[in-house]
Amino acid sequence: MMRAMAGLVCVAMLAGCGLGERVGLGAARKAASLPYSAQLDPGADPRDFAVAVKAGPVGVDAVRESVRYPATRYCLTTFGTSDAIWRIDPQTEDWAAIRDGDRLLFGGRCTAR
């Protein structure tokens, strides 16, 4: 009886800390989706990258998080840190974007190493 009780306490504690979800034993959480589809391409120097996002007629502010996410993921998985610097447009002092039809193209660099 005491072992069964100890086992139930352990199961309850694991469920409370979220360990079950991390090892695939729980209800999967649906990830929040980003509003625009973005694709990252590494440059010749692995620290450099370009991100293209299907944006239609919208501007930089509308797509910023959709662009930032793949860059953060790339820098984090490749260099161990999420820090990135973006090319800046000197006129707007915001991220530089090149419009190519319905896409916006951005460039940046992972700052690690």
pTM listed for this prediction: 0.69
> pLDDT band at residue 99, thresholds of 50, 70 and 90?
very high
pLDDT tens-digit profile of 30-86? 556 788 999 999 999 999 999 999 988 998 999 999 999 999 999 999 999 999 999
Q: What is the pLDDT of residue 72?
A: 96
Q: What is the pLDDT of residue 13?
A: 64
Q: Is the pLDDT of residue 28 over 60?
A: no
Q: Are residues 81 and 63 in the same domain?
A: yes
Other beta carbons within 10 Å of 49: 21
Written as six digits, the tokens of 10 are 């352990």
Q: 70 is in which domain, residue-wise?
A: 31-110
Written as six digits, the tokens of 113 are 């190493």
Written as six digits, the tokens of 24 are 């695939």
Q: Are residues 6 and 26 in the same domain?
A: yes
Exposed / middle / buried, residue 3 (Cβ in 10 Å: 0-12, 13-18, 19+): exposed
Q: Are residues 40 and 92 in the same domain?
A: yes
Q: What is the pLDDT of residue 51?
A: 98
Please tell me the number of Cα atoms within 13 Å of 33 on its side-chain side. 3
Q: Are residues 37 and 23 in the same domain?
A: no
